Structure 1
Amino acid sequence: MNLDWMIALPPILLALLAGLFTWGVTALGASLIFFFKNINRKVLDAMLGFAAGIMIAASIWSLLLPAIGQVEESGAFWQVIFGFLAGGVFLWGLDKVIPHMHLFGKKAEGVKTSWHRSILLVSAITLHNIPEGLAVGVAFGALAINPSPAVFAAAVGLAIGIGLQNFPEGTAVSAPLYREGMSRGKAFMYGQFSGAVEPVAAVIGALLVSQMSAILPFALAFAAGAMIFVVVEELIPESQAAENTDMATLMTMVGFVVMMSMDVLLG
C-alpha cells in the first residue's frame, strides 16, 4: 500500500484527523449506555486496567524509546529525563488546580467549586485526555522532521492505541452518570465530551514540534511522563479499588501486550 500521499499531508492536519478519531472512539464507548441498562463494575475495572496497560506500553514504545533514539548521537539524554519529569509535574499541577472527581470517588479535588458531580467526572477524564492528545500530536508532528513511512506508521499505531483505551473511558464516564439517574442521551453527551480536548491537544502538540524541531525529544518524553502520571495516579488505583484486582491486573497486562505488539508490527 502506497502511503506517500498520506505522509505528504501537513502533519498538523494528520494530527487533527487522529485527534478526531480518538474522540470518536470515546463517543463510541459512551454510546454503550444506549444498549445496556447497567455496566457491571467488574467489566469497568477490566476496561480501566486494559486502558492502563495500553498507556504504559504507548509511553515506552511510542514515546520514550523514540525520544531516546533522537538524542543518542548528541548524548543529550537529559532532555528525555527532564521532559519525562516535566510531564508528570504538569499533570500534577493541573490535578491541583482544575476541579474534578475520580470515577468512583466521593470527594472533589482541585480548587473548590460549585460544579455538579457530572461536570467534575467529565473534568477528571478530560484532564488525562490532554496528554493523550499531545502524544498523538507530537507523534505526527515528528513527520515534519522525518517524513518517513516508519515515523508515520508509529504515529498511526499510537493513535489507534490511544483510541482503543479511549473506548472504556467513554463508557466509564457515561455509565456512572446514567446509574445516578441521568438520561441516556445526557449521559452519552457528557461521556463523549470528555474526549473533545484530544483534537485540540493533538494540534497543539503537532504545531509545537513542527515549528521547533529541537524540542522533539523533550516533547515525546513530556507526553510519556504525563501519561504515566495519569496511569499511576488514576487508572490503576480506580481499577483496583473494588474486589476485582486480579481481573484488572490481568487486563492491564493484556492492554500492555496489545499496544506493544501493535507498535512492533507497525514500526
Structure 2
Amino acid sequence: MNQVLAGSVLSALSTGLGAVPILFMAKSLTHRWRDVLLAFSAGIMMAASMMSLIPESLKSGGFSTLTVGLSAGVLILTLLEMTVPHIDLEHTKSGLQFDEKAMLIIAAITLHNLPEGLSVGVSYASDSSSQIGNLIALAIGLQNAPEGFLVALFLINQQIGRFKAFVIATLTGAVEIVTSLLGFYLTSLFRGLVPYGLAFAAGAMLFIIYKELIPESHGDGNERTSTYAFIVGILFMIFLTQSF
C-alpha cells in the first residue's frame, strides 16, 4: 500500500514539478521546443505500453483479455473526448477569455489524467508490482512533467498569474492519486481484473499518444524534429526498463 501511494503521488505531482520553470521564465517557449517535449512524452508512453503493460496483460490473461481491455481503454477515452470538447493547447492563436477557454482546458486535462492514474494503480496490483508498478509510475511521471509545463504556459498566455497557473497545473495532475488508489483497490479485490486493467491502461495510453500527443507535436511544421524526439523518448524508456 505504501508503495502504490508513493508511486501515485510522485507520478501525479510530476505535473507540478514540470510547471516549476514557468515561475522563473523570462519569455515563452518556442513552438519547436513544445513539440519536442510532447513527442518525447509520446515516446516514453509508447515504450511503457508496448514493453510493460501489454506483455504483462498477455502473460496473465492472454490475447482475448488483452483485446477486451485495450478496446475498453480506447472506448472510454473516446467517450471522454466526445463529452469534453478537445481544445488544442499548442496551436490556438486567438486570445479567448479565461472563464471560457481556460476552464475548458482545465476540465479536459483533468479528465485526461484520470486513466493515467488508473494505469499506475492497476500496475501496482499486478503480480510483478514491484517492477511494473514503479516503471509505469515513472513513465506517467515523465509524461506529466512537460504536460504540466505546457498547461501552466497556456494559462500564463491567458493572462493568469504565474503562481496561480502553477497551482492549477499541479491540481490537474493531483486527481491521478485518487484514480490510482481506486484502480489498485479494485484490481486487488478482484484479481481477475488485473490483466484487463493492464490492457485498459495500455489502450488509454495508446489513444492519448496517437490522438493527442503526436498530432499536437506535428502542428507547426516541426515533424522531423518531433519524430526524432519521439524515438529518443522510446529509447530513453527502454534504457530505464533495462537498467532498473
What is the TM-score of this pair, normalised by structure 1?
0.84
Aligned pairs for 1:82-101 within 5 A: 82-101=68-87
- Aligned match of 1:159 in 124, 132, 137? 137
- Mapped partners of 1:88, 1:126: distance in 2: 17
SS at match of 1:194: helix
Query: Which string of whole-angstrom CA distances, capped at 9 and with x for unpartnered residues, describes residues 119-178 of structure 1?
Result: 222223223222211111011112xxx3xxx53022112211211111100011011221
Contact in 1 for aligned 2:7/2:137 (Cα 8 Å): yes
Moved >3 Å (runs of 4+)? none
1:132 corresponds to which residue?
Answer: 116
Whether 1:32 aligns to 2:21 is yes
Q: Which residues in structure 2 correspond to 1:226-237 (within 5 Å)?
A: 226-237=204-215
Q: Distance in 2 between matches of 1:124 and 1:46?
A: 22
- Offset at residue 100 of structure 1 (A): 4.5
Q: CA deviation at 1:44?
A: 0.9
1:23 Cα deviation after fit = 2.0
Length, aligned pairs only:
239
Backbone CA RMSD of aligned residues: 1.8
CA distance in structure 2 between the partners assigned to 1:215 and 1:89 by the alignment: 17
Retained in 2: the 8 A contact 1:101–1:123?
A: no
Q: Tell me the residue number matched to 1:257.
A: 235
Q: CA deviation at 1:39?
A: 1.7
Partner residue, 1:17:
6
Q: Does 1:117 align with 2:101?
A: yes
Q: Find the partner of 1:141 among 112, 116, 125.
A: 125
Deviations 1:42-65 (A, max 9, x none): 111110001111111111112101
Distance 1:59 1:66 in 2: 10
How big is the shift at 1:182?
Answer: 1.5
Contact 2:70 2:200 survives alignment (8 Å):
yes
Unmatched 5+ stretches in structure 2: none
**Contact 2:16 2:166 (8 Å CA) reproduced:** yes
Q: Could you say which residue in structure 2 is the equivalent of 1:81? A: 67
> Any gaps of 5 or more consecutive residues in structure 1?
1-9, 108-113
Name the structure 1 match of 2:39.
49
Q: Distance in 1 between matches of 2:125 and 2:159?
A: 42
Distance 1:154 1:219 in 2: 13
Looking at structure 2, the residues matched to 105 and 41 of structure 1 have their Cα atoms a distance apart, in angstroms, of 9
Conservation of the 8 A alpha-carbon contact between 2:4 and 2:133: no
Identity level (%)? 36
For 2:22, give the aligned amino acid: I
Equivalent residue in structure 2 for 1:239, among 183, 195, 217 = 217
Task: Give the Å deviation of 1:105.
Answer: 5.4
**Which residue does the alignment assign to 2:183?**
205
Find the aligned partners of 2:17 and 2:177 in 1 and give their Cα distance.
16
**1:92-112 deviation digits (Å, cap 9, x = unpaired):** 0011113452313559xxxxx
Residue of 23, 29, 50 corresponding to 1:60: 50
- Give the equivalent residue in structure 2 for 1:7: none
Contact 1:158 1:263 in 2 (8 A): no
**What amino acid is the match of 1:83?**
G
Q: In 2, are the aligned partners of 1:52 and 1:252 still within 8 Å (CA)? A: yes
Q: 1-side partners of 2:233 and 2:30: how far apart? A: 19
Alignment partners' CA distance in 1, 2:167 and 2:43:
26
